[in-house]
Structure 1
Amino acid sequence: MARATISDVAAAAGVSQATVSRALRGSANVSPATRAKVEQAAESLNFTLSKSASTLASGRTMRVLLLVSGPLNTWFNASVLQGVYDVLAPEGYDTIPAFVTNREQLDRFFRDLPRDRNADAIIITSFEFDTALHDQLSALGMPVVGLNSPSTAGFDASIGIDNAAAITSGVQLLRSLGHRRIAFVHDYIPHDMVYGTSTRVAAFRTAAAQAGYGDDDIVMIGADHHDTTPAMLDVTAAGIVARLLSCEQHPTGIMGETDEFTAAVYKELRRQHLAAPRDFSIMGFDDAPVSRTLDLTTLHQNPVELGNAAARKVLALLRGEAPEQTHELVPATLVLRETTGRAPNGR
């Protein structure tokens, strides 16, 4: 049997082909009765309007780019992708994921984007954007929405976790448990990229000072390279733990930049025959599945919901509307588990 065409639907519904196209695209200038008649005819003939035809008529690609930092298969990035897809798919939009891991890749992505012009909007996750790039995309008519980015600069709208408030609650927990020396462990921070998680380093220093810790009471230890393969993460964690334990008075309260990074450090501390919370307290950030596996105290965020919110802001901007909240910060919730407790021997 030959595949039904738009002319077949038009004949069955008793309308023009143009009316069929408008009705199936959801155009407003079609009466409800006519739209129902066209939809019934299309269903009976198993006809679906070609997306390419629809987009040519509307001037839109019906695609939204999602640009993330780091691999797509990480817990956070995959969850954000799911959240964006859940909102955009019912509206007829495809979500096109892409990722960058360094400045060279980022510059190349935006250098090629005007030529490709294969999307109506872009969501940028977890790294700093700038106003020059925003202006470039604005000239193309592409709204830009940030998700968990370090600042709101360069974004038409944004959604993110309140990292400063979250880190403060973690520091206050360690203080209330009697930890007099505390540490923050974090991944490598490149000189030419600013990531959303990188802001937690400065937030920790600020929160510690506000809680009454002096400079000699805090220890900041970061990785000297970036490699998240399991083997290299273990090597990085071993180096960080060696530096922690070589302190004249080693910290007993430890916070990590992410659950994944914290888990590697925690694993190495246990390999050195130290136990939490008997010898130290340790907490992560994210509430990723690994934190539940290790019963790790952490700060909870929900990247699926962040993706939902970012996608809703995109849809509003594409409709020419202002989002309900243009730039939005949501709290991260402290989740107490087995790895935090009173400081050992009052230290």
Structure 2
Amino acid sequence: MQRATIDDVAKAAGVSTFTVSRALRGKAHVAAATREKVLAAAAKLNYTASRSAADLASGRTKRIALLSRERISGWFHGALLEGLIDVLAPSGYDLTVYRIGNAEERTRFFTDLPTNRNADALIIAGFALNEEEKRALMGMAMPIVSVNASDLTYCQVSIAIDDESSEAQIVRYLAALGHRRFCFLGRADPISGDDWGFDARPRGYQDEIAELGLRDCGMFFINVNDRNAIRQTVASLVSMPDRPTAICTWADQLALPVIHDLEAMGLRVPEDISVFGFDGSDMAAAVNLSTMAQPAREIGRMAARHALNLVDGGTPDEATIVVPTTLEPGGTAGPARTPDNN
């Protein structure tokens, strides 16, 4: 037997599908007699209101879209997803994830989503938009929340940490421990280019080194998934005549193999060389890594709450939200052995 639809109930009760939806959900402005008639028709037809029927009546999809660049399996995006689901699931919302790992996936997204309008709000994490993409999104009249991008021309709320000042704080901390010779190990961005945004951590490092008059022994950008490339870079650092006493890394993900390779080459961490990570990931706590922690899961919760508030017609108290980071000294950073040696 074919399952009854909301149209069947509406015909049986002699009312519109909109009235059926409101009556079954207990909404106001439905006469008692009309509500009883709808309930009786629904019971006779053995009709159970589906969420999609209610959503159609309200004009909502009950879905939030996440646009995330590159790998969604990394620590930050994994924690971000957890935070989004923490808020969206209890509110009856689904999350649709779009990965933008290359130019083709990016083009496909901006071609399809604006025409489909298949979400109530959009959260964009991890990259900047070009002018054409901004215009496309603004033309959708869809609430937009950005994560780790401060451009408000296309979104209503921006949530981000200050990567630049956070990295500068790491340099100041290590300098206070007597370190004068530094290097920075960053990520070779697989989808680099101005239209993907830029990494502010190297700039924070570089500017603070110059400000404090410290020695930069080099900035190296590595494929973080290439163990051989990491090992070769560490070997080049170790072989320097005046090797650095402190290494700042782009993320905990990079700091851990660097520490492993240093120790395999006979250096002690932190006695001979200090290593600092960035993120405050679970792996950092497990190995007592010195790191700059960012609350990625809480950022996800904040983004979800703001998205739902915008969907409900709310106005954010703040358009630009800078989330504080926390410097967490661990066992991989200590005083320089020769603090007066520049």
TM, length-normalised to structure 1:
0.84
Asked if 1:104 is matched to 2:104, the reply is yes
Letter matched to residue 97 of structure 2: P
1:118-133 equivalences under 5 Å are 118-133=118-133
Which has the larger displacement, 178-187 or 197-206?
Answer: 197-206
* Inter-partner Cα distance in structure 2 for 1:248 and 1:75: 36
| 1:71 alignment partner, SS class | coil
Deviation at 1:17, TM superposition (A): 6.6
Whether the aligned pair in 1 keeps the contact of 2:224 and 2:230 (CA below 8 Å) is: no
8 Å contact from structure 1 (residues 64, 121) kept in 2: yes
* One-letter identity of the residue aligned with 1:192: G
Whole-Å Cα distance in 2 between the matches of residues 340 and 227 of structure 1? 21
**Contact 1:64/1:96 (8 A) holds in 2:** yes
Q: What fraction of aligned residue pairs are identical, expressed as a percent?
A: 38
Change (3 A) 1:241 1:47: farther
Instruction: Provide the rounded CA distance (Å) in 1 between the counterparts of 2:175 and 2:153.
Output: 34
Equivalenced residues, count = 338
Equivalent in the alignment of 1:296: 289
Counterpart selection for 2:250 from 237, 251, 257? 257
Q: Does structure 1 conserve the Cα–Cα contact (< 8 Å) formed by 2:150 and 2:158?
A: no
- Alpha-carbon spacing, 1:227–1:339, altered in 2? closer, same or farther (3 Å): closer
Q: Deviations over 1:79-117 (max 9, x none)?
A: 111111221223222110121223332233212322333
Report the counterpart of residue 323 of structure 1 in structure 2.
316
1:165 corresponds to 2:158: no
Distance 1:286 1:136, change over 3 A: same
Q: Aligned partner of 1:50: which letter?
A: S
Structure 1 residue 121: Cα displacement: 1.7
Aligned counterpart, 1:203: 204
Match of 2:331 in 1: 338
The answer on whether the counterparts of 2:18 and 2:57 sit within 8 Å (CA) in structure 1 is no
State the 1:125 CA deviation: 0.8
Q: Structure 2: which 5+ residue stretches go unaligned?
A: none
Deviations 1:157-183 (A, max 9, x none): 111112122112211111001001111
**Matches of 2:25 and 2:200 in 1, distance apart?**
44
Distance 1:65 1:17, change over 3 A: closer
Deviation at 1:18, TM superposition (A): 4.5
- Could you tell me which residue of structure 1 aligns to residue 240 of structure 2? 247
Q: Quote the offset at 1:30 in angstroms.
A: 5.7
Counterpart amino acid of residue 216 in structure 2: D
SS of the residue corresponding to residue 344 of structure 1 reads coil
Residues 1:311 and 2:304 are matched in the alignment: yes
Deviations 1:221-252 (CA, angstroms, capped at 9, x unpaired): 111xx463xxx2x1121122123223331111
Residues 37-56 of structure 1: matches in 2 within 5 Å?
Answer: 48-56=48-56
Preserved CA contact (<8 Å) 1:258 1:286: yes
One-letter code aligned to 2:169: S
Q: How much does 1:191 deviate?
A: 3.7
| Correspondent of 1:273 among 259, 263, 266 | 266
Structure 1 gap ranges (5+): none
**What is the one-letter code of the residue matched to 2:87?**
V
Superposition deviation, residue 340 in structure 1: 0.8
CA distance in 1, matches of 2:319, 2:313: 13
Task: Tell whether the 8 Å contact from 1:81 to 1:97 is kept in structure 2 after alignment.
Answer: no
Distance 2:220 2:127 in 1: 21
Q: Distance in 2 between matches of 1:129 and 1:328?
A: 19
Q: What amino acid sits opposite 1:206 in the alignment?
A: D
Provide closer, same or farther for how the CA distance between residues 227 and 220 of structure 1 changes in structure 2, counting only shifts above 3 A. Answer: closer
Distance 2:89 2:31 in 1: 25
In structure 2, C-alpha distance between the alignment counterparts of 1:298 and 1:46, rounded to whole Å = 59
What is the CA–CA distance in structure 2 between the aligned matches of 1:6 and 1:328, rounded to whole Å? 43
* Greater displacement, 253-262 / 163-172: 163-172
Deviations 1:113-168 (A, max 9, x none): 22333212211111112343122112122222111236555432111112122112
Give RMSD over aligned pairs.
3.5
